[in-house]
Amino acid sequence: MEVSKLFEKLPIKINKFKTISGGDINKAYFLETKEGNFFIKINQKKLFPKMLIKEANGLEALGQTGYIKTPKIINYGEIDQFQYLILEWTERGEAKNKTWENFGHALAYMHKIEQPFFGFKEDNYIGSLKQVNTSSSNWGEFYGQYHLIPLIKKLKEQNKIEKYVVKNVENLCLKLNEIFPKESPSLLHGDLWAGNYMVSKQQEILLIDPAVYNGHREIDLGMTQLFGGFPSYFYEAYKDVYPLDNNWEERLPFSQLYPLLVHSVLFGGYYVDQVKQILKIF
């Protein structure tokens, strides 16, 4: 990418910039300017159309709840062949017990806000995959038809699974409304693992890289447990505000199935085995 040419056309004057490693989808840089320090991520606009605009929309949706902290959006858009998103730079700190308790409360309060439907105002991305967010009044229909089945079919097209696994998912989808307790739609971060939060020096947890939609809140909680990194007092604080029934952890395999399918499509291997293990009873 010819980023220097892009930087010359941005609406802020950059004094210095430095590459930030770690991202596998976008290029990221630290920007030093007279207005302050910023973070920018960049991609080709044709590679993942509107990805960074949709990410900005997701951050705005989370922030507008009044409970979840996200980095301040400075600017986003498209210039020439590029798309970009500029965020306020966050100086990192270390989380203390109280930090996690506050975040548990905040996530629960956000989840308690009743949304009008399952889905979202637009499709977006989870990782580098398109996430379909067609609206529905029925959680089982939304989760099954728009999130699970499209990915299991993609896995079959990639020859990573056998035909019977597709049938297993179809059988599961018929029972989703029995498996999950009936609840109003909640706004979800959608990809809530340990790599998608930051702790600021002010002891606040800020969420980044969202894949937002209105869904069942156990999906967010399931994702927090899939790869670890969230302490027990986070969950206790969450339940103090928005209690979970005693069987919620038994449903974790079904809450985690969607992100496992995403990882199976992108990376294959062990994730495919986990998907098959969850589905074998169907």
**Dist CA 211 CA 190 (whole Å):** 5
Which of 191, 220, 240, 245 is catalytic? The answer is 191
Contact call for residues 88 and 36 (beta carbons, < 8 A): yes
Please say if 123 is a catalytic residue: no
Quick one: tokens of 9? 């056309």
Angle between the N-to-C axes of helices 163-173 and 149-157, in degrees from 0 to 180, rounded to the nearest 10 = 180
Distances, alpha carbon 272 to alpha carbons 21, 224, 253, 277, in Å: 28, 19, 13, 9
First to last CA, the chain: 47
Spell out the residues 6+ positions from residue 162 whose beta carbon is closer than 8 angstroms to its own: none
**Residues annotated catalytic, as ranges:** 191
